[in-house]
Structure 1
């Protein structure tokens, strides 16, 4: 569970980075398409530079499209990984019937979940954090 938690944190960071990158690429792409239109309007006066500029812009747009596709694939991969690890966490939580079940299910749970479990159900009322660590101790009544 602890490894799953670490993986989740890493995936969230990658997820945010890929989201930002996609938006940045989309913004550049829209700027380029508007710029291409202005170049096309100016082409009537200057025909020599027109073809080279259009070629460069088309190349740039195609490379940006590739980048967008790459980021979308990455984004999809990370979301799938996150969903898989979340379902794993849920399954482990379902296995916990009482406080006295093996400690291994509690290992990677986030800190704020301890209090939530305690407040939600009486059977988790005996959950307590041991001093100096994040692990839980199941106290026998």
Structure 2
């Protein structure tokens, strides 16, 4: 069995609504499952106002999105900030009829893959990234987020 890469994790709650759900060891498990190299990752859970401001200022899109990834280094250590909007993740989970923690796991895996250079702007990139996400989530016991009924 291969050892998982090391992880230095900073977990911050600007929006505390899901603090009890997102316990440190679970967040570490989800991020570490997607890491291919050692990582220094900050995960910040924010409200819609902060999520919207960051998305507008850094991506030019004036709305709160589920996860933003700010990647600083891909190797030899992955360095990134993952910003997750609690309100958006909660709404999406309800709309999809899935467990909130499962959707957070997906967003953490998705953001961690972005931190390592994965992207989904082009169709072939999207297929590759989605397949990798599905594989990682299956290993965590979470259903394929792209094949919901």
**TM-score scaled by structure 1?**
0.19
- The structure that is strand-richer by fraction is 2
**Normalized per residue, which structure has more helix?**
1
The structure that has the greater radius of gyration is: 1
Q: Which has the higher contact order (CA 8 A, sep 6+)?
A: 1
